[in-house]
A and B are shown apart, each in its own frame.
Chain A
Amino acid sequence: MNNLVKIDKLCFQRDNRFIFNDVDIAIPSGKITAIMGPSGSGKTTLLRLIGGQLLPASGTVTVFDKQVHSLNRKQLYTLRKRMGMLFQSGGLFTHLNVFENVAFPLREHTKLTNAMIRSLVLMKLEMVGLRGARHLMPSELSGGMARRVALARAIALDPDLIMYDEPFSGQDPISMGVLVKLIRTLNDALGLTSVIVSHDVQETLSIADYVYIIGDGKLIGHGTARSISADISEQLKQFIHGLPDGPVPFHYPANKLQQDLIGEQPV
C-alpha cells in the first residue's frame, strides 16, 4: 500500500515548547486516516505543516512524493492545488455568496467558461445537498451548512488529498451525522485520501480506517479504529473513554491545598 503523505521524525517548536517531538505518521492513499488528541496537542498545527503553511524545526513532510518544505512558492502552490482543506470555522469568504465561494478556486485556477463553472459548482453543491442555498450569503448559513459549503469549495478542484480540521466540533447531532456520512461518501466516491483531525472520539472512530493519537508532542498510539478502542494503555483509555483523571491530570500543577489555604503568601 503506498502512502500519500509521509511524515518522518517531525519536530516543531513554538516559544521553546515542543509541539511535536520526533513524530512519524504515514497516511495511506484512498483511506480515511484520523489524527486525534486532546485540545492543544497540535493537531491543527500538523495539518498546517502538511499544507506547508508552517516550517518544521527538523524532520520531513512528504506529500505526493515531494518534500513540502523544500519547494519554492510556485511549486508549493502547484502542490496545494491537489490538496483541499476544510478549516474549523469554514473560512468562507464573507463578501461572496455560496455560489461564488465554491466558484472561487475554479475562477482563480482555470480558464473555464462561465457556463462550465456554473455546472461544476452546482454539481459540487448538489453533493453536499446545498444546491438550493446557492444565493445565500455565509452570514445566513447555520454552522453545519457553512461547513458543507466549505467542503464543496475544498473539493471544487477535485483534489487527491483532503484534510478536515475538527469537522465535528460545535455541530448538532443532525449536522454531525450529515458530515460523517459526507466524509465517508466523498472519500469512497471520489477516490480521495482523507485526513481528519478531531477530538470527537465516537464520530471519528466510526468512519476512520486508521487512527493516530498524539499527546505531549508524541504519538501515544496508532492502529485501526477497533484496536484503538480495545487498547489498554492508561493514556489511550483516558482519552478514548473521556475519563476526567488519569495520565492527563484533572488538577493544574499547584501546591498542596492546605499549604495554599494556611500559607501567608499573597495570591
Chain B
Amino acid sequence: MMDHVATIGRLGLLALREYGKAGLLLARVVFYPPNLRKGVPLVIQQIYAEGVLSLLIIIVSSLFIGMVVALQGYHTLAKFGASQELGPLVALSVTRELGPVVTAILFAGRAGSAVAAEIGLMKATEQLSSMEMMAVDPLKRVIAPRLWGGFISMPLLTLIFNAVAIYGSYLVGVKWLALDAGTFWSNMQSSVDFRLDVINGIYKSIVFGLVVIWIAVYQGYKSAPTSAGIASATTRAVVYSSLAVLSLDFVLTAMMIGEW
C-alpha cells in the first residue's frame, strides 16, 4: 500500500520537476534576449519556417472548415426559417472558437512537430554540444528564435484562418445556396463585435501560440539524444500541445464569457 503511495508521490515529483525545468527554459529565453543585430534575422528566418510554411495547410483547412460550417449551418437554420443568419453563425463560431483552436492544433502538427524534431536532431548529432563548446549559447542561438518565431506567427495565422474560413462560407452560402450577399455581410457585421469576438479570439491564439511552441522547444531540447528520442519527442510535442490547447481553450472561454 505504502509502495503505491510512494510511487504516486514520485511520479508527482517528477512531473513537477519537468514543469520547473520547462519554466526555467522559458524564463531564460524571455529574460535574456539575444542582441538585436544577430537575433532579429534569426527570428525572421523562424517566422518563415514556422509561419509561412504553415500557410498552405492553414489556408486549405480553413477554406474547407468554413464551407462545411456554412453547409451544415444553412440546413439547420433553414428548418427554423433563419437561414439569413448564416453569416453571424459562421463568423461567430470561427472568430471565437474554430479559428484559434484549429489553427493552434494545425500549428502544433506542422510547426511544433518540426521544431521538436529539428532540435532533437541537433541534440542527437551533437550540434548543440558543439555550439556550446564554441561558446555560443544554444538557448539564444537555437531555442529563443524558434520560440519568438512561433509566438509571432500564431496570431497572424489565426487572422488568416478567420478570413479564409469566412470567405469559404461566403462561397457556399451566397454563391452556391443563393443567399443574398447584402444580407449575409450586413447581418454578420451587425452581430460580430470586434473587441468581444475577434480580439478575444486573438488573445486566445496568442496564449495557444506560446504554449504550443514552448512545449515543442522544450520537448526537443530535453529529448534523449537518439533516433528513438527524436521520434518520441515529436509525438509528445504534438500530443501535449493539442491537449494543452483544448483544455486551455475551456479555461479561457470561461474567463471571457464569465468576465472574470
Where the two chains meet, the residues of A that have a C-beta atom closer than 8 Å to any C-beta of B are 48, 51, 53, 73, 77-78, 80-81, 83-85, 87-94, 104-105, 108-109, 150, 153, 157
Q: Are B136 and A91 neighbours in the complex by a CB distance under 8 Å?
A: no
B257 sits at the interface (CB 8 A) = no
State the Cβ distance, A81 to closest chain B Cβ, in Å.
5
Task: Chain B residues near A157: list those with CB within 8 A.
Answer: 134
B126 sits at the interface (CB 8 A) = yes
Q: Are B137 and A93 neighbours in the complex by a CB distance under 8 Å?
A: no
Q: Are A89 and B133 neighbours in the complex by a CB distance under 8 Å?
A: no
Complex CA distance for A79 and B129, rounded to whole angstroms: 16
- Most A CB within 10 A of own CB, among B132, B135, B136: B135
Task: Chain A residues near B125: list those with CB within 8 A.
Answer: 89, 91, 94
Complex CA distance for A77 and B141, rounded to whole angstroms: 14
Task: Chain B residues near A84: list those with CB within 8 A.
Answer: 133
Instruction: Rank and list the top 10 A-B pairs by shortest CB-CB distance, nearest first.
Output: A91-B130, A91-B126, A80-B135, A77-B135, A85-B133, A87-B126, A105-B134, A81-B135, A108-B136, A89-B126
Q: Are A94 and B134 neighbours in the complex by a CB distance under 8 Å?
A: no
In this complex, how many residues of chain B approach chain A with their Cβ under 8 Å: the count is: 15
Q: Are A77 and B129 neighbours in the complex by a CB distance under 8 Å?
A: no
Q: Are B126 and A105 neighbours in the complex by a CB distance under 8 Å?
A: no
State the Cβ distance, B36 to closest chain A Cβ, in Å.
15
* Chain B residue nearest in CB terms to A78: B135
B101 sits at the interface (CB 8 A) = no
Task: Chain A residues near B135: list those with CB within 8 A.
Answer: 77-78, 80-81, 105, 108-109
Q: Are A87 and B136 neighbours in the complex by a CB distance under 8 Å?
A: no
Complex CA distance for A150 and B125, rounded to whole angstroms: 13
* Interface membership of chain B positions 97-137, coded 1 if the CB is closer than 8 angstroms to chain A and 0 otherwise: 00000000000000000000000011001110110111111
Task: Chain B residues near A87: list those with CB within 8 A.
Answer: 126, 129-130
* Chain A residue nearest in CB terms to B141: A108
Task: Chain B residues near A90: list those with CB within 8 A.
Answer: 126
Q: Are B134 and A104 neighbours in the complex by a CB distance under 8 Å?
A: yes
Q: Are B134 and A88 neighbours in the complex by a CB distance under 8 Å?
A: no
State the Cβ distance, A26 to closest chain B Cβ, in Å.
22
Other A-B contacts than A81-B134, A84-B133, A89-B125, 11 sampled, CB-CB below 8 A, are A53-B129, A53-B133, A80-B134, A83-B133, A85-B130, A87-B126, A91-B125, A91-B127, A108-B134, A108-B135, A108-B136
Complex CA distance for A153 and B38, rounded to whole angstroms: 20
Q: Within residues 154 to 184 of chain B, which ones have a CB less than 8 A from any CB in chain A?
A: none
* Chain B residue nearest in CB terms to A83: B133
Task: Chain B residues near A53: list those with CB within 8 A.
Answer: 129, 132-133
Complex CA distance for A107 and B145, rounded to whole angstroms: 17
Q: Are B133 and A51 neighbours in the complex by a CB distance under 8 Å?
A: yes
State the Cβ distance, B131 to closest chain A Cβ, in Å.
8
Q: Are A77 and B126 neighbours in the complex by a CB distance under 8 Å?
A: no
Q: Are A80 and B133 neighbours in the complex by a CB distance under 8 Å?
A: yes
Complex CA distance for A13 and B146, rounded to whole angstroms: 34
Task: Chain A residues near B130: list those with CB within 8 A.
Answer: 85, 87, 91, 150
State the Cβ distance, A55 to closest chain B Cβ, in Å.
14
Complex CA distance for A232 and B16, rounded to whole angstroms: 53
* Chain B residue nearest in CB terms to A93: B127
Q: Are B127 and A92 neighbours in the complex by a CB distance under 8 Å?
A: yes
Task: Chain B residues near A80: list those with CB within 8 A.
Answer: 132-135
State the Cβ distance, A252 to closest chain B Cβ, in Å.
23
Complex CA distance for A150 and B126, rounded to whole angstroms: 12
30 A–B contacts from the bound complex (CB under 8 Å): A48-B129, A51-B133, A53-B129, A53-B133, A73-B137, A80-B132, A80-B134, A81-B135, A83-B133, A84-B133, A85-B130, A85-B133, A87-B126, A87-B129, A89-B125, A90-B126, A91-B126, A91-B129, A91-B130, A92-B127, A93-B122, A94-B127, A104-B134, A105-B135, A108-B38, A108-B134, A108-B135, A109-B136, A153-B134, A157-B134
Task: Chain A residues near B126: list those with CB within 8 A.
Answer: 87-91
Complex CA distance for A89 and B132, rounded to whole angstroms: 15
Task: Chain A residues near B136: list those with CB within 8 A.
Answer: 104-105, 108-109
Task: Chain A residues near B38: list those with CB within 8 A.
Answer: 108
State the Cβ distance, A121 to closest chain B Cβ, in Å.
14
* Chain A residue nearest in CB terms to B32: A73
* Chain B residue nearest in CB terms to A88: B126
Task: Chain B residues near A73: list those with CB within 8 A.
Answer: 137
State the Cβ distance, A95 to closest chain B Cβ, in Å.
9
Quick one: given A87-B126, A89-B126, are A94 and B133 in contact (CB under 8 Å)? no
